[in-house]
Amino acid sequence: MTMMITRKFQAVALAAAITLTVPACGQKSGVASQVVVGGVPGQVAADGSIVPGTTAADGSAVGVPGATGGVTGGTPTGGGSTTGGGSTTGGSKTTPSGTGGGGEAPPATAPRSGGGDTTGVTDTTIKVGIHAPVTGAAAIPQQSFEKAVGVYFDMVNKKGGINGRKVEVKFEDDQFRPDTARARCKKFAEQDKVFLIIGGAGADQIDACARYAASASVPYLSAGVHETRPGQAPLSSLSTYFALSLTYEQQTPLLARTYKASYNGQKVAVITADNDSLDNFHGKAVGAIKAAAGSNLAYERRIPKNTTSDAPGIAGEICRSGAKAVVWNASPSSLLNVAKVLTCKVGFIGPGLTNGLNIVAEVGCDNIANARFYSPFPGMDVMRRNAEFVNAYKASNGGSAPDDLGAAIYGVESLVGMILAATGKDLSRESFMATIGKVKQFNNGIYPPTNFSSRFGGTAMHLLRADCSKSEFVTEKVNVRP
Amino acid sequence: MNLPLYEQLAIALTAGVLRGAVYALVALGIVLVFRGSGVFNFAQAEFGTTGLFAAYWALTVQGWSYPVSFAFGMAVAIALGLLTERLVIHPLRDSSRVTLLVGTAGVALAAIGLQFWLFNETLVMSMPKIHDGYFTTPWGAIVTMQELITLGVLAGGAALLALFFRSPSGLAIQAAQQERVASELVGISVRRVSMLTWGIAAALGGLAGILAGPYLTFSAGFLSFGAVGSLLPGFMAAVLAGMRSMPGAVAGGLLVGAIEQLSSLEVFAESIPGAGAMILFVFLLVVLLVRPQGIFVGRAVTA
Amino acid sequence: MSAPTSPSSEAPDATLDLPTVEEELWSAPEDAESERFRPSRAGWFARGALWAVLAWFVLAFPVNFLSPFTLGVSDVSAASEAAIFAIVGLSLNVLLGYAGQISLGHQAFVGIGAFTSAYVVVNLDLAFWFAVAVASTLGLVQAAVLGAISLRLTGLYFALVTLAFGSFAQQTIFAIPKLTGGEGGKEAPRPALFDSDYRYYFLCLAFLAVVLFLDWRLTRSKAGRALMALRENPRVASSYGINVKAYTLIAFAVSGLFAGLAGALMAHHDEVIVAQKFGFNLALLFVLMTVVGGLRSRSGVVIGSAFFALLGSGHLLELLEPLTTNVFRFSLHDFLTGTIGLPIEFVALVVGPILLLLTITKYPGGIGQQIAPIREWMLGHRFDIHAGKVKEVEVDDVRA
């Protein structure tokens, strides 16, 4: 096993070396930074009113509890612009060190000559594509994503849009399948001609679509997933890809820390789905847990993506290993199946999944009591207090109450909205992507603040805990940095 | 986990025999129908899933008690079996066997479609167990009470079937299956016999579905190719039984379960993905090449 | 096989004029009849017009040529998929229709063809055309080997062997990341010339035409006639010296060839091909579309397959929606998803089996039989509502 791990590390190191060399070519950051700094300040003031108080107000009004020091809920949009915008708060510019192990320098930014690529943008509209699973094998409520998509943009449109442009959202069901996701994204790019694409959920779907989007030069944004897939270029090398939260790999130190905090000295198991995109994560997670637990790492295993009939065997092995904590990165439905047949008590710890976890807590909370999972968006206990979110969700969905997927999509949409706003009136794909690289921090009070020193812009995660008295995941800690 | 091989083997065989009990119930139904109608009944497992969905609906949506829900699930399974006989098998009684096979596959697909449609809103379905207990065997295998109950039901059901086939109705069925015209002449209604056969087969399927449902979460097609995919293992057990022997079907089911679980041995589990399916495929080929007439065929076989 | 399977309403007619089997199934009746009947000029014109409309619908409409409609890439992509499904349907038709054998693992043949082709193009860096040839050959070999094993027994066992093979392929072969690219799928790039979805559609159509031609040749060959004789009466056939097994094996091989080809086309159609696609549901859908299309009717199988492909992807309902809302003032979409709560993706799964059961119990000729009058008329015959009323269209198994 040690052999395998060292080999994995070598591979990681190699990958990092490669990625570091990639961005060197064709980058004219000097020009870009000028453009952005010139363009942003004027907009920031306007933003404050257009994307109204989302940021500053939320941070305090919603009262994300216990925000970790250093990141205050300042007006983040202006973070990068120091040229007298007036709305920037100095404190919010703290650049967290050590984000993203194998990341690369700021995303490639082409100089904006005249208009740049303005596909999907008119004087009055911006067309945005979002894909997420509505149907298919994912344990996701049929209507959750249908309801969630567009909530934020609807609200913004009612208030006049972003820099005077209304956001037109195209939504496609990717059926929780990478091939469908790719086909839908192709439709977005070639048929609908969208400006950018947002990946709603599902690591493999996000991966497939991000690769297509890069080939079609469409900006692609999603929550953080994996960083590499064997036999494929790393996601960090895709010229249009941006992860808005920490990747699985970046979260491994958090998992080790959670283990140490709650289960120190007890036996621990690492269970990862056998998706090859998680190879890298699994290696890193095992490494991190080994460093934290030493010989207490009792069991590690890859399990089928959709664990059904194998569940009893896996559960039996976990119990026989004597593990009290299980680091878990596999689908929620697999978690349910394994938890259902467990004959011993274990605490689950896991990285932020894009599919929402409350369904697990609703169906089988007893089996996963006190499970701790990281998440790019806070639990519903916090989000329900976010009046703007709740009202926007209700307004778009005939008064029905929001769920965690609603919060997830709202979080992504509002981050994208902030970036669009910060880009300014002169919107092209180039200027949009340049803005992501230049603005130090975007903070919408839902996602942890971003910092795009690499393709992976996440800086922190929220920690959620399964509270079986409420049958949902509640927020234990926000903005936990690795 | 570095258990010694014999311990791994003991654990795998225990799990295999317990899983095999479900296969055996399905196999009994398959054999029964094949003897009765000469049909490879690909809807057999879906009788079970449909019964399970009905029981689940009764229990969680309607809030009926467990026994009532169980009975309701069984009733729905049997109703589906009888409907299949009336609407598909009877009209096609003079068609070729492959046509009948397509018909039963159609019934299975229709059942799966209905399950998808009607339970589309329910994400993860989880049926409570009859008894939540479990124990660990001395060799480290974990046995749940639910699995033991299934095994017990299999034993009881097989015994009842054996008794039944010695009763006048049972003898009538056997007579009708062997000599249709002659049976009609002596006053046995072939039609009623056919209904009875399909009813019993569907009941066996229903038992398999409702008892195995609580093992894991379930979704449409659960017993055919879902979490407890029993269609193929059930057929393999029936093949081992020469498609005719009832005790053979039971023995075959347990054997197929055990063989499939060999895939959980470390040698396979670590190196071959989906080792269970591979073992089953190879096993089927070997059986068909070496002993196509079956292994557990018993004495009174008229193959 | 003694009693007619057609419903009573059709039975009298069916028993009255029994043409020889030869005419009815294997050589179109046109040879004998066309000398007697010559359409009038108006008749030729009408037929020509209908042919033109058909040609427009297949060749021009999907690519927005001479068309008032505008279809996007996803629509033409669905049309390509329909053509590929038609190839699968024809593949299954050879087995089920000609040889009387049912395959419940056809999705595995198609899937292995798909991944093989992707592997040849991506990992071996060889040409697309070569990849298609390799995939087709591999399909042929697989089907022949499995067929040879199950031929030792009665035909029903082939169903079991293919079922086991399907689950083995799905869970074991398709779980090899080297071959299938893992859960994220395997890339299967198209040749540069056919990179556009519109051009790829014509590529699929061309392959469909080739398969139709091969299928037609097969039915006219000695093997085809032997298979027919076998199905009619295996004992008599074998006593006349027809080698039952050899000819059945040919059917397996041809079916595997078509399936492998369809797989290769499917891979490069999707561009990213995932193992999830090839589940047991797909195997059942293949059987369903072939039987509903009408066994032994090439046109019926093609229409049936295309119908289910478009129904499954939701495009059929999308295309019909403007028609139903404007003409009938009735939204099929709203009715399905709203009134009866049936999501579009499940329509094929719910409607399909009902059509299947109706087909085998009431209309064994499937779509092929229903459209036979028009087809015969278009081929220059007198319009006859009873045309194509085939007597023995049931799936019959030569040895069971």
Phi, psi (rounded to 5 degrees) for A384 = -65, -20
Q: A320-337: string of b/e by CB count within 10 Å (b at 16+)?
A: bbebbbbbbbbbbbbbbb
Q: Which residues in C lie closer than 8 A to residue A273 (C-beta atoms)?
A: 183
Phi, psi (rounded to 5 degrees) for A182 = -65, -45
- The strand pairing partners of A455, in sequence order, are none
Q: Which residues in C lie closer than 8 A to residue A175 (C-beta atoms)?
A: 345
Beta strands B142-144 and B134-136: pairing type? antiparallel
In the prediction, which pLDDT does B263 show? 83
Total number of domains constituting chain C: 1
Nearest CA in chain B to C149: B289
Considering the domain architecture, whether residues A346 and A425 belong to the same structural domain is answered as no
Highest mean pLDDT among B198-202, C365-369, C393-397: B198-202
Highest mean pLDDT among A81-85, C244-248, C388-392: C244-248
**CB of C241 within 8 Å of any CB in chain A?**
no
Q: List Cα–Cα distances, A69 to A73, A88, C90, C361, in angstroms.
A: 10, 18, 67, 73
Yes or no, beta carbons of B216 and A363 under 8 Å apart: no
Q: What is the dihedral of CA C67, C72, C76, C81, to 10 degrees?
A: -150
Q: Looking at the predicted structure, is the pLDDT value of residue C10 above 50?
A: no
Residues contacting B61, CB < 8 A, separation 6+: none
Residues contacting C55, CB < 8 A, separation 6+: none
Q: Which residues in B lie closer than 8 A to residue A315 (C-beta atoms)?
A: 142
The SS3 call for residue A286 is helix
Task: Please tell me the distance from the alpha carbon of residue A262 to that of residue A326, in angstroms, as a whole number.
Answer: 12
In a domain, A26, yes or no: no
| Model ipTM value | 0.90
Which among B92, B113, B235 has CB closest to C361?
B92
- For A1-40, the pLDDT digits (tens) are 334 444 444 444 444 444 433 333 433 333 333 223 223 3
**CB of B122 within 8 Å of any CB in chain A?**
no
Which partners does chain B have (≥3 C-beta pairs < 8 Å)?
A, C
Q: Looking at the predicted structure, is the pLDDT value of residue C1 above 70?
A: no
- Residues C285 and C125: beta-carbon distance below 8 Å: no
In the prediction, which pLDDT does B287 show? 87
Q: How many pairs of residues across B and C have Cβ atoms under 8 Å apart?
A: 168
Report pTM.
Answer: 0.81
**CB of A140 within 8 Å of any CB in chain B?**
yes
- Tell me how close the Cα of B222 comes to any Cα of chain C, in angstroms: 12
Average the pLDDT over C56-80 and give the result: 80
Beta strands A325-329 and A347-350: pairing type? parallel
In the prediction, which pLDDT does A356 show? 66
**What separation, in Å, do the N-terminal and C-terminal C-alpha atoms of chain C show?**
11
For chain A, what is the mean pLDDT?
73
Q: Which residues in A lie closer than 8 A to residue B264 (C-beta atoms)?
A: 310, 313
Considering the domain architecture, whether residues A419 and A351 belong to the same structural domain is answered as no
**CB of C380 within 8 Å of any CB in chain B?**
no
The SS3 call for residue A251 is helix
**Given CA atoms C133, C135, C136, C141 in this order, what sign does their dihedral have?**
positive
193-232 in chain A: CB under 8 A from chain C: 204, 207-208, 212, 229-232
More confident residue, A245 or C329: A245
Tokens 């230049």 belong to which residue?
A438
- Tell me how close the Cα of B206 comes to any Cα of chain C, in angstroms: 21
Q: How many helices (H) and strands (E) does chain C have?
A: 20, 2
- For A250-305, the pLDDT digits (tens) are 888 888 888 888 888 888 889 988 888 888 889 888 888 888 888 888 888 888 77
Which partners does chain C have (≥3 C-beta pairs < 8 Å)?
A, B
Yes or no, beta carbons of B273 and C287 under 8 Å apart: no
- Residues A97 and A163: beta-carbon distance below 8 Å: no
Considering the domain architecture, whether residues A224 and A162 belong to the same structural domain is answered as yes
Write out the residue range of the structural domain in which residue A167 sits. 100-245+381-459
**CB of B48 within 8 Å of any CB in chain A?**
no
Q: Is B122 exposed, middle or buried (0-12, 13-18, 19+ CB in 10 A)?
A: middle
Q: Looking at the predicted structure, is the pLDDT value of residue A215 above 80?
A: yes
In a domain, C120, yes or no: yes
Q: For residue A162, give the CATH number of its domain.
A: 3.40.50.2300
Considering the domain architecture, whether residues A362 and A447 belong to the same structural domain is answered as no
Which among C1, C149, C354 has CB closest to B110?
C354
**CB of B117 within 8 Å of any CB in chain A?**
no
Yes or no, beta carbons of C183 and A276 under 8 Å apart: yes
- Tell me how close the Cα of B228 comes to any Cα of chain A, in angstroms: 6
Total number of domains constituting chain A: 2
Nearest CA in chain C to B224: C280
- Residues B50 and B77: beta-carbon distance below 8 Å: yes
- Residues A248 and A281: beta-carbon distance below 8 Å: yes
Residues contacting C233, CB < 8 A, separation 6+: none
Please give the share of chain A, as a percent, with pLDDT higher than 90: 3
Candidates B1, B8, B60, B264, partner chain A, best to mutate (most A CBs within 10 A) = B1
- For C142-162, the pLDDT digits (tens) are 999 988 887 777 667 888 889
In the prediction, which pLDDT does A107 show? 45
Which among A343, A359, A364 has CB closest to B142?
A343
Residuewise pLDDT in 10s, chain B (303 residues): 567 888 888 888 998 999 999 999 999 999 999 988 888 899 999 999 999 999 999 998 899 999 999 999 999 999 999 999 999 988 888 888 888 888 998 999 899 888 888 887 776 788 888 888 888 888 878 888 889 999 999 999 999 988 888 888 788 877 777 777 777 777 777 788 888 899 999 999 999 999 998 888 888 888 888 778 899 999 999 999 988 888 999 999 999 999 998 888 877 776 777 788 889 999 998 888 888 777 887 654 433
Which partners does chain A have (≥3 C-beta pairs < 8 Å)?
B, C
Tell me, what DSSP letter sits at residue B166?
A: T
In a domain, A229, yes or no: yes
**CB of B2 within 8 Å of any CB in chain A?**
no
Lowest mean pLDDT among A65-69, A301-305, A378-382, C357-361: A65-69
Q: B226-262: string of b/e by CB count within 10 Å (b at 16+)?
A: bbbbbbbbbbbbbbbbbbbbbebbbbbbbbbbbbbbb
Yes or no, beta carbons of B88 and C361 under 8 Å apart: yes
In the prediction, which pLDDT does C351 show? 86
Amino acid at A411: G
**CB of B295 within 8 Å of any CB in chain C?**
no
Task: Please tell me the distance from the alpha carbon of residue B52 to that of residue B73, in angstroms, as a whole number.
Answer: 6
Helix residue ranges per DSSP H, A397-428: 404-423
In the prediction, which pLDDT does A92 show? 36
In a domain, A10, yes or no: no
In the prediction, which pLDDT does A470 show? 82
More confident residue, C32 or C45: C45
Residue C135 burial (CB count, 10 A): 31
- For C113-133, the pLDDT digits (tens) are 999 999 999 989 899 999 999
Yes or no, beta carbons of B120 and A320 under 8 Å apart: no
Fold (topology level) of B5-290: ABC transporter involved in vitamin B12 uptake, BtuC (1.10.3470)
Task: Please tell me the distance from the alpha carbon of residue B139 to that of residue B144, in angstroms, as a whole number.
Answer: 15
Q: Looking at the predicted structure, is the pLDDT value of residue C67 above 90?
A: no
In the prediction, which pLDDT does C234 show? 66
DSSP A38-64: HHHHHHHHHHHHHTTTHHHHHIIIII-
In the prediction, which pLDDT does C203 show? 93
In a domain, A86, yes or no: no
In a domain, A90, yes or no: no
Considering the domain architecture, whether residues A262 and A226 belong to the same structural domain is answered as no
Amino acid at A457: G
Considering the domain architecture, whether residues A158 and A254 belong to the same structural domain is answered as no
Average the pLDDT over A327-333 and give the result: 85
Residues contacting B118, CB < 8 A, separation 6+: B53
Nearest CA in chain B to C102: B98
- Residues C370 and C387: beta-carbon distance below 8 Å: no
Q: Looking at the predicted structure, is the pLDDT value of residue A54 above 70?
A: no
In the prediction, which pLDDT does C390 show? 52
Q: Which residues in A lie closer than 8 A to residue C177 (C-beta atoms)?
A: 230, 276
Nearest CA in chain B to A311: B216
Considering the domain architecture, whether residues A196 and A258 belong to the same structural domain is answered as no
Q: Looking at the predicted structure, is the pLDDT value of residue A50 above 60?
A: no
Residues contacting A283, CB < 8 A, separation 6+: A4, A5, A8, A9, A12
Lowest mean pLDDT among A354-368, B80-94, C4-18: C4-18
Q: Is C159 exposed, middle or buried (0-12, 13-18, 19+ CB in 10 A)?
A: buried
Nearest CA in chain B to C337: B117
Helix residue ranges per DSSP H, A173-276: 178-186, 203-215, 248-263
Nearest CA in chain A to B16: A313
Which among C77, C183, C184 has CB closest to A183?
C77
For chain C, what is the mean pLDDT?
80
In the prediction, which pLDDT does A33 show? 32
**What separation, in Å, do the N-terminal and C-terminal C-alpha atoms of chain B show?**
47
- What is the enclosing helix (H) or strand (E) of A476? strand A472-480
In the prediction, which pLDDT does B210 show? 94
Lowest mean pLDDT among A112-121, A152-161, C197-206: A112-121
- Tell me how close the Cα of C69 comes to any Cα of chain A, in angstroms: 14
Write out the residue range of the structural domain in which residue C191 sits. 71-278
- Residues A37 and A438: beta-carbon distance below 8 Å: yes
Tell me, what DSSP letter sits at residue A449?
A: P
- The strand pairing partners of B217, in sequence order, are B126
Q: What is the dihedral of CA C363, C365, C370, C373, to 10 degrees?
A: -140
> Whose CA is closest to A197, among A183, A215, A185, A214?
A185
Nearest CA in chain C to B233: C164
Considering the domain architecture, whether residues A239 and A303 belong to the same structural domain is answered as no
Q: Looking at the predicted structure, is the pLDDT value of residue C18 above 70?
A: no
Tell me, what DSSP letter sits at residue A330?
A: S
In the prediction, which pLDDT does C9 show? 35
- Residues A77 and A442: beta-carbon distance below 8 Å: yes
